[in-house]
Structure 1
Amino acid sequence: MHRDEDLQRLVAAVRELDPQPRQRRWVSVSFCVLDAVFSIGAHYDRHVVPVVGRVAADFGVASPSVPMSVPESADPVPLDAFLDRYPSSDELLAVAKNRQNTSTRGGIRKADAVLRYAAVLHENQVSTLDEARKLLIDDSRLNAVESALRQVPGEGASGVRRGYLWMLIGDQDTVKPDRMVLRWLARHGAETTPDSARLLLRDIARELSVGIDRRITAWEVDHAIWQDARSKH
Structure 2
Amino acid sequence: MHVQVRSKDDAVTRDLVNAVLALDPKPREVRWTSLSLCILDAVWSIGARYDMVVVPLVRRFAAGFGVESPTVRADSTLGPDPIPLSALAGLDVGSLVDRTNRQRTSTRGGILKAEAALRHFAVFVEHDVTTLAEAIELLSDSHRLADVDSALRRIPGEGGSGIRRGYLWMLVGNDDLIKPDRMVLRWLRHHGVDVSPEVARGVIATVAESLTATTGKPVTPWEVDHAMWNAGRLLPPTRKLGM
Task: Indicate the TM-score class for this superposition, using the shorter chain for normalisation.
Answer: over 0.9
2-side partners of 1:41 and 1:13: how far apart? 26
Residue in 1 aligned with 2:23? Answer: 17
1-side partners of 2:215 and 2:46: how far apart? 34
Amino acid aligned to 1:30: S
Contact map agreement 2:35 2:130 (CA 8 A) in 1: yes
Mapping for residues 1-233 of structure 1, pairs under 5 Å: 1-2=4-5, 4-84=10-90, 86=91, 88-96=92-100, 98-232=101-235
Q: How many Å apart are 1:209 and its aligned residue?
A: 0.8
Q: Number of residue pairs matched?
A: 230
Which stretch shows the higher mean deviation, 16-25 or 67-76? 67-76
TM-score (norm 1): 0.96
Q: How many Å apart are 1:80 and its aligned residue?
A: 1.1
The alignment-based identity, stated in percent, is: 52
Which stretch shows the higher mean deviation, 18-27 or 180-189? 180-189
Q: How many Å apart are 1:143 and its aligned residue?
A: 1.2
1-side partners of 2:50 and 2:196: how far apart? 22
Q: What's the RMSD between the two structures over aligned residues? A: 1.1
Amino acid aligned to 1:103: S
Q: How many Å apart are 1:90 and its aligned residue?
A: 0.4
2-side partners of 1:62 and 1:16: how far apart? 36
2-side partners of 1:83 and 1:202: how far apart? 38
Q: How many Å apart are 1:212 and its aligned residue?
A: 2.9
2-side partners of 1:214 and 1:200: how far apart? 19
Amino acid aligned to 1:9: D
1:45-84 deviation line (CA, Å, top 9, x unaligned): 1110111111101110001111123321000001111233
Residue in 1 aligned with 2:241? Answer: none
List runs of 5+ in structure 1 lacking aligned partners.
none
Amino acid aligned to 1:95: R
Amino acid aligned to 1:6: V
SS in 2 for 1:25: strand
TM-score (norm 2): 0.92
1-side partners of 2:230 and 2:215: how far apart? 23
Q: How many Å apart are 1:211 and its aligned residue?
A: 4.1
Contact map agreement 1:83 1:115 (CA 8 A) in 2: no
Q: How many Å apart are 1:91 and its aligned residue?
A: 0.5
SS in 1 for 2:61: helix
